[in-house]
Amino acid sequence: MDASAFLNTVLPFKDKMFRLAKRLLVSTEEAEDATQEILLKLWRSNDKMASYKSVEAFAMTMTKNFCLDRLKSKQAGHLKLVHSNYQDESVSLQRKIENVDSLEWMQRILKTLPEQQRIILQLRDIEQYEFEEIAEMMDMNQSAIRTALSRARKAVRESLIKTHNYGIQQQN
Protein backbone atom coordinates (compact mmCIF):
# COMPACT_ATOMS: atom_id res chain seq x y z
CA MET A 1 0.00 0.00 0.00
CA ASP A 2 1.45 3.36 -0.97
CA ALA A 3 1.39 6.49 1.20
CA SER A 4 -1.71 8.06 -0.35
CA ALA A 5 -3.75 4.86 -0.06
CA PHE A 6 -2.62 4.52 3.54
CA LEU A 7 -3.67 8.11 4.31
CA ASN A 8 -7.03 7.60 2.60
CA THR A 9 -7.57 4.55 4.78
CA VAL A 10 -6.54 5.92 8.19
CA LEU A 11 -7.30 9.65 8.07
CA PRO A 12 -11.10 9.23 8.36
CA PHE A 13 -10.77 7.71 11.85
CA LYS A 14 -7.59 9.41 13.09
CA ASP A 15 -9.62 11.87 15.20
CA LYS A 16 -11.51 9.01 16.87
CA MET A 17 -8.19 7.45 17.81
CA PHE A 18 -7.06 10.76 19.28
CA ARG A 19 -10.28 11.21 21.28
CA LEU A 20 -10.02 7.73 22.75
CA ALA A 21 -6.36 8.31 23.62
CA LYS A 22 -7.22 11.66 25.18
CA ARG A 23 -10.04 10.10 27.21
CA LEU A 24 -7.66 7.51 28.58
CA LEU A 25 -4.47 9.55 28.96
CA VAL A 26 -5.98 13.00 29.80
CA SER A 27 -3.08 15.00 28.44
CA THR A 28 -3.44 16.37 24.93
CA GLU A 29 0.30 15.90 24.39
CA GLU A 30 0.17 12.28 25.58
CA ALA A 31 -2.84 11.61 23.34
CA GLU A 32 -1.08 13.16 20.33
CA ASP A 33 2.01 11.03 21.02
CA ALA A 34 -0.13 7.90 21.35
CA THR A 35 -1.97 8.65 18.10
CA GLN A 36 1.30 9.20 16.25
CA GLU A 37 2.73 5.97 17.68
CA ILE A 38 -0.30 4.00 16.51
CA LEU A 39 -0.19 5.59 13.06
CA LEU A 40 3.48 4.71 12.82
CA LYS A 41 2.78 1.11 13.84
CA LEU A 42 -0.01 0.94 11.27
CA TRP A 43 2.31 2.30 8.58
CA ARG A 44 4.95 -0.30 9.44
CA SER A 45 2.37 -3.06 9.05
CA ASN A 46 0.53 -1.56 6.06
CA ASP A 47 1.31 -4.62 3.95
CA LYS A 48 -0.95 -6.65 6.29
CA MET A 49 -3.73 -4.06 6.36
CA ALA A 50 -5.70 -5.61 3.53
CA SER A 51 -6.15 -8.76 5.62
CA TYR A 52 -7.92 -6.88 8.44
CA LYS A 53 -11.70 -7.08 8.45
CA SER A 54 -11.89 -3.51 9.76
CA VAL A 55 -8.77 -1.34 9.81
CA GLU A 56 -10.62 1.18 11.97
CA ALA A 57 -11.54 -1.41 14.60
CA PHE A 58 -7.96 -2.71 14.55
CA ALA A 59 -6.57 0.81 14.97
CA MET A 60 -8.97 1.60 17.83
CA THR A 61 -7.99 -1.65 19.56
CA MET A 62 -4.33 -0.75 19.12
CA THR A 63 -5.02 2.71 20.56
CA LYS A 64 -6.85 1.31 23.57
CA ASN A 65 -4.12 -1.24 24.27
CA PHE A 66 -1.31 1.26 23.76
CA CYS A 67 -2.92 3.76 26.15
CA LEU A 68 -3.64 1.13 28.79
CA ASP A 69 -0.05 -0.10 28.55
CA ARG A 70 1.14 3.49 28.83
CA LEU A 71 -0.96 4.03 31.94
CA LYS A 72 0.43 0.87 33.51
CA SER A 73 4.03 1.75 32.70
CA LYS A 74 6.36 3.26 35.28
CA GLN A 75 6.75 6.41 33.16
CA ALA A 76 3.05 7.21 33.45
CA GLY A 77 2.63 7.32 37.21
CA HIS A 78 1.26 10.85 36.96
CA LEU A 79 -1.46 10.09 34.40
CA LYS A 80 -5.10 9.64 35.45
CA LEU A 81 -8.10 8.10 33.69
CA VAL A 82 -10.25 11.20 33.34
CA HIS A 83 -11.40 13.40 30.52
CA SER A 84 -9.46 16.59 29.90
CA ASN A 85 -10.61 20.15 30.32
CA TYR A 86 -13.57 21.42 28.36
CA GLN A 87 -13.50 24.96 27.01
CA ASP A 88 -16.17 26.90 25.15
CA GLU A 89 -15.41 30.58 24.60
CA SER A 90 -18.88 31.50 23.32
CA VAL A 91 -20.76 31.11 26.61
CA SER A 92 -21.22 33.31 29.65
CA LEU A 93 -19.04 33.07 32.73
CA GLN A 94 -21.90 31.52 34.70
CA ARG A 95 -22.40 28.86 32.03
CA LYS A 96 -18.65 28.19 31.93
CA ILE A 97 -18.63 27.62 35.68
CA GLU A 98 -21.63 25.31 35.40
CA ASN A 99 -19.97 23.38 32.56
CA VAL A 100 -16.73 22.98 34.52
CA ASP A 101 -18.68 21.87 37.59
CA SER A 102 -20.71 19.35 35.56
CA LEU A 103 -17.59 17.96 33.90
CA GLU A 104 -15.85 17.65 37.26
CA TRP A 105 -18.82 15.66 38.59
CA MET A 106 -18.79 13.43 35.53
CA GLN A 107 -15.03 12.92 35.87
CA ARG A 108 -15.47 11.86 39.48
CA ILE A 109 -18.31 9.53 38.56
CA LEU A 110 -16.42 8.01 35.62
CA LYS A 111 -13.38 7.42 37.86
CA THR A 112 -15.53 5.16 40.03
CA LEU A 113 -16.47 2.92 37.09
CA PRO A 114 -14.41 -0.15 36.28
CA GLU A 115 -11.93 0.46 33.46
CA GLN A 116 -13.79 -1.79 31.01
CA GLN A 117 -17.09 0.04 31.58
CA ARG A 118 -15.39 3.43 31.11
CA ILE A 119 -13.95 2.35 27.75
CA ILE A 120 -17.21 0.82 26.55
CA LEU A 121 -19.13 3.96 27.58
CA GLN A 122 -16.60 6.08 25.66
CA LEU A 123 -16.75 3.95 22.53
CA ARG A 124 -20.55 3.64 22.43
CA ASP A 125 -21.90 6.93 23.78
CA ILE A 126 -19.17 9.34 22.72
CA GLU A 127 -17.56 7.76 19.67
CA GLN A 128 -20.87 6.23 18.49
CA TYR A 129 -19.47 2.82 17.58
CA GLU A 130 -21.87 -0.06 16.96
CA PHE A 131 -21.98 -2.95 19.42
CA GLU A 132 -20.43 -5.29 16.87
CA GLU A 133 -17.45 -2.96 16.41
CA ILE A 134 -16.98 -2.51 20.16
CA ALA A 135 -17.15 -6.27 20.67
CA GLU A 136 -14.41 -6.72 18.11
CA MET A 137 -12.24 -3.98 19.64
CA MET A 138 -12.70 -5.22 23.20
CA ASP A 139 -12.51 -8.91 22.26
CA MET A 140 -15.83 -9.56 24.01
CA ASN A 141 -19.23 -10.78 22.87
CA GLN A 142 -21.99 -8.27 22.15
CA SER A 143 -24.17 -9.31 25.08
CA ALA A 144 -21.27 -8.69 27.48
CA ILE A 145 -20.77 -5.26 25.88
CA ARG A 146 -24.47 -4.44 26.30
CA THR A 147 -24.41 -5.60 29.93
CA ALA A 148 -21.29 -3.58 30.76
CA LEU A 149 -22.74 -0.50 29.04
CA SER A 150 -26.03 -0.87 30.87
CA ARG A 151 -24.24 -1.18 34.20
CA ALA A 152 -22.05 1.83 33.45
CA ARG A 153 -25.04 3.97 32.48
CA LYS A 154 -26.95 2.84 35.55
CA ALA A 155 -24.03 3.68 37.84
CA VAL A 156 -23.66 7.12 36.24
CA ARG A 157 -27.42 7.76 36.47
CA GLU A 158 -27.61 6.68 40.12
CA SER A 159 -24.62 8.78 41.03
CA LEU A 160 -26.06 11.84 39.30
CA ILE A 161 -29.42 11.36 41.02
CA LYS A 162 -27.68 11.02 44.35
CA THR A 163 -25.51 14.07 43.69
CA HIS A 164 -28.22 16.39 42.41
CA ASN A 165 -30.83 15.29 44.93
CA TYR A 166 -28.38 15.43 47.85
CA GLY A 167 -28.60 11.72 48.54
CA ILE A 168 -32.40 11.42 48.27
CA GLN A 169 -33.40 8.81 45.69
CA GLN A 170 -36.31 9.55 43.36
CA GLN A 171 -39.19 7.13 43.37
CA ASN A 172 -40.03 5.51 40.02
What does the pLDDT look like over 67-112, one tens digit per residue? 888 887 745 455 444 434 444 455 577 777 777 777 787 888 888 9
134 and 78, same structural domain? no
- Cα separations (Å) of 53 from 11, 20, 48, 50? 17, 21, 11, 8
Query: Do 65 and 44 share a structural domain?
Result: yes
Residue 115 near residue 69 (C-beta atoms within 8 A)? no
Q: Are 162 and 153 in contact (CB under 8 A)?
A: no
Residue 148: what pLDDT?
94
Looking at 66, 84, 102, which one is the last position of a domain?
84
Count how many domains the chain has. Answer: 2
Domain hosting residue 141, numbered range: 86-172
Q: What is the pLDDT of residue 85?
A: 43
Q: Which of 38, 40, 44, 42 is nearest to 68 (CA)?
A: 38
Q: Are residues 107 and 59 in the same domain?
A: no
Report the CATH number at residue 92. 1.10.10.10
Residue 150's pLDDT is 93
pLDDT < 50 regions, the chain? 74, 76, 79-88
Domain identity same for 93 and 172: yes
